[in-house]
Amino acid sequence: MPRPRKSQSPFRCFNSSPEVIRLVVMMYVRFPLSLRNVEDLLFERGIDICHETVRMWWNRFGPDVRRRAQIATLFAR
């Protein structure tokens, strides 16, 4: 009998915690910041990542975050 498959986390391939990835993507979505500005803000908070990592996470998770934000604004009306 096959075991039921668990839904796999979209963060499973990344070494950083999902909380950090969500924070980075939300900072880039919510505020008019450049990739390097996000990198600098996180460095001030003790998180050392490259601006290319921010770009990679944005390309991977950004569309989903933006879609969820649009849905949330529709239901908030």
In a domain, 8, yes or no: no
Domain with 62, as residue range(s), is 18-76
As for how many domains the chain has, the answer is: 1
In a domain, 13, yes or no: no
In a domain, 60, yes or no: yes
d(CA 57, CA 15): 12
In a domain, 55, yes or no: yes
Query: Mapped to the 3 state alphabet, what secondary structure does 9-70 carry?
Result: CCCCCCCCCHHHHHHHHHHHHHCCCCHHHHHHHHHHCCCCCCHHHHHHHHHHHHHHHHHHHH
Residue from 33, 76, 77 nearest 58 by CA: 33
In a domain, 26, yes or no: yes
In a domain, 61, yes or no: yes
Q: What is the pLDDT of residues 5-60, one digit of tens each?
A: 666 777 777 778 888 988 899 888 888 999 999 999 999 999 999 999 999 999 99
In a domain, 29, yes or no: yes
In a domain, 39, yes or no: yes
